[in-house]
């Protein structure tokens, strides 16, 4: 049996030996990956949002700062928001120094995340290319490549011929937008989005943290300018610190606390095709035609496009966006015209004016917010959690989060990533 350590029981490690042992006894000995306890009356910290960013925040609070009396509250199910509704791309080839720093931290953490969590997140460093299909994009991506070199991020601008070598199914001589080159990050790639959430959840539960699902926050309480707790559909819970990590619903929680956030919420849509044999082992982003594509381990072509042109909270997707995205990608990837669509969906992205995130203190003492990731949320999960945990533990931002304060909008110190942030901007 697992032995108690520091007030909590360590789970059995996953390994090839554990698989063999359980196979011999018909897989009857597997434990639940995480517990589902009733909430306690008080915690040192509450994280609202059990998506990737919220779970990563809790994990690094425990691992890096020893804060383990933590509740992660989720109004739906664990990983059921944007964490399970994205296209799994991981890259760090951003233009501005603060962006490159936090995304590169995240990418580097992804490389060892399976070992760190003892959970296979299926990280695949297959490489990411961002196509240049106009002269303007050539100049923009060459500038980014030079900036990345100064930042220590491994990228390069490659020729159309090299693009064709890396992705043979691509037509680089398209009728409207021929491929003129690409910004290539060989150590970018993909991971299994659900597994990232599940791995962090298992590790948090292993540290004695409470993951409370189907528990919606209905009010935030404060006294003398500081947070004191929250009301939920499962009762009143007190806390010393509160982290709001709920993506597109951040403005709703901020409203409960009495302040406003400079974000807007939009639906971002994606789809997957029927599974086919392996034909594409890189990630391709085509910003000019608003589409990006990779192939999953199951053989599906994972396709994403732009955001809706109006604010909304829908997670269903719409036909006109799917039609627009696929029509554009068919020019560059003619072979996908013969595929059937398997399913489509939408996720709620939270956009700031400069297309960069907010990791910040708020006007209410001991309430901290992590939002505004737009279309870059999944790739940022480990780095975001690392930075948010440091902010909550110390009360002041560390070097990764310092430039992403809410105050930058008042001071005019924008971190403009309207080009590097992706096709939705």
Q: Model confidence over 170-225: pLDDT tens digits?
A: 999 988 899 999 999 999 999 999 999 999 999 999 999 999 999 999 999 999 99
* Residues 317/269, Cβ–Cβ less than 8 Å: yes
Q: CATH number of the domain that 214 lies in?
A: 3.50.50.60
Question: 352, 379, 400 — which closes off a domain?
Answer: 352
| Judgement on whether residues 336 and 399 belong to the same structural domain of the protein | no
**How much is the pLDDT for 251?**
94
Contact 71, 210 (CB under 8 A): yes
| 272 and 326 belong to one structural domain | yes
* Burial classification of residue 57, based on how many CB atoms lie within 10 Å of its CB (0-12 exposed, 13-18 middle, 19 or more buried): buried
Spatial distance between the Cα atoms of 329 and 296, rounded to a whole number of angstroms: 17
- For the stretch 23-80, pLDDT in tens is 999 998 898 999 999 999 999 999 999 999 999 999 999 999 999 999 999 999 999 9
* Contact yes or no for 392/241 (Cβ under 8 A): yes
User: Do both 206 and 182 map to the same domain?
Assistant: no
How many separate domains does the chain show? 2
**36 lies in the same domain as 185:** no
**In CATH, what number is assigned to the domain containing residue 165?**
3.30.9.10
For the stretch 129-178, pLDDT in tens is 999 999 999 999 999 999 999 999 999 999 999 999 999 999 999 888 99
Helix (H) or strand (E) holding 384, with range, is helix 381-394
pLDDT of the residue at 324: 85
pTM of this prediction? Answer: 0.94
**Residue 379 domain-assigned (yes or no):** yes
pLDDT, residue 4, reads 39
Are residues 156 and 271 part of one domain? Answer: yes
Confidence of residue 7 (pLDDT cuts 50, 70, 90): very low
Q: Is the pLDDT of residue 3 over 50?
A: no
Specify whether 223 is located in the same domain as 317.
no
- Whether 212 and 332 map to the same domain: the answer is no
275 and 331 share one domain: yes
Residue 174 is assigned to a structural domain of this protein = yes
- Give domain status of residue 299, yes or no: yes
Q: Which domain holds residue 274?
A: 104-190+265-352
């Amino acid at each position: 049996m697992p032995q108690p350590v520091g007030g909590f029981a360590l789970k059995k490690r996953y390994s090839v030996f554990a698989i063999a042992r359980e196979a011999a006894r018909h897989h009857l000995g597997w434990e639940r990956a995480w517990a589902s306890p009733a909430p306690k009356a008080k915690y040192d910290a509450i994280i609202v949002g059990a998506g990737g960013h919220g779970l990563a925040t809790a994990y690094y609070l425990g691992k890096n700062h020893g804060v383990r009396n933590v509740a992660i509250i989720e109004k739906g199910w664990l990983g059921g928001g944007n964490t399970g509704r994205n296209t799994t791309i991981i890259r760090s080839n951003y233009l501005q120094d603060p962006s490159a720093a936090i995304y590169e931290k995240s990418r580097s953490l992804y490389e060892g995340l399976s070992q760190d969590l003892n959970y296979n997140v299926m990280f695949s460093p297959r490489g990411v290319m961002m196509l240049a299909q106009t002269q303007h994009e050539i100049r923009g991506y060459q500038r980014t490549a030079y900036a990345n070199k100064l930042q220590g991020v491994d990228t390069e601008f490659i020729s159309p011929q090299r693009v064709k070598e890396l992705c043979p199914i691509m037509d680089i001589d398209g009728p409207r937008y021929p491929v003129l080159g690409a910004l290539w990050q060989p150590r970018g790639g993909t991971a299994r989005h659900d597994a990232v959430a599940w791995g962090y959840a298992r590790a948090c539960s292993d540290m004695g943290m409470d993951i409370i699902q189907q528990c919606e926050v209905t009010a935030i309480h404060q006294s003398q300018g500081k947070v004191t707790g929250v009301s939920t559909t499962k009762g009143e819970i007190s806390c010393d610190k509160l982290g709001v990590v709920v993506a597109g619903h951040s403005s709703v929680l901020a409203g409960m606390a009495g302040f406003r956030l400079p974000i807007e919420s939009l639906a971002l849509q994606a789809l997957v095709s029927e599974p086919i044999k392996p034909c594409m082992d890189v990630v391709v982003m085509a910003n000019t035609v608003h589409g990006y594509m990779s192939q999953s381990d199951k053989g599906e072509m994972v396709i994403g496009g732009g955001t809706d042109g109006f604010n909304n909270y829908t997670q269903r997707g719409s036909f006109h966006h799917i039609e627009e995205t696929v029509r554009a990608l068919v020019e560059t990837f003619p072979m996908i015209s013969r595929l059937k669509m398997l399913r489509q969906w939408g996720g709620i992205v939270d956009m700031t004016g400069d297309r960069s995130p907010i990791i910040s203190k708020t006007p209410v003492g001991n309430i901290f917010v992590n939002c505004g990731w737009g279309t870059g949320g999944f790739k940022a999960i480990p780095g975001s959690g690392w930075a948010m945990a440091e902010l909550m533990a110390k009360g002041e931002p560390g070097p990764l989060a310092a430039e992403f304060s809410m105050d930058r909008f008042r001071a005019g110190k924008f971190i403009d990533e309207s080009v590097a942030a992706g096709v939705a901007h």
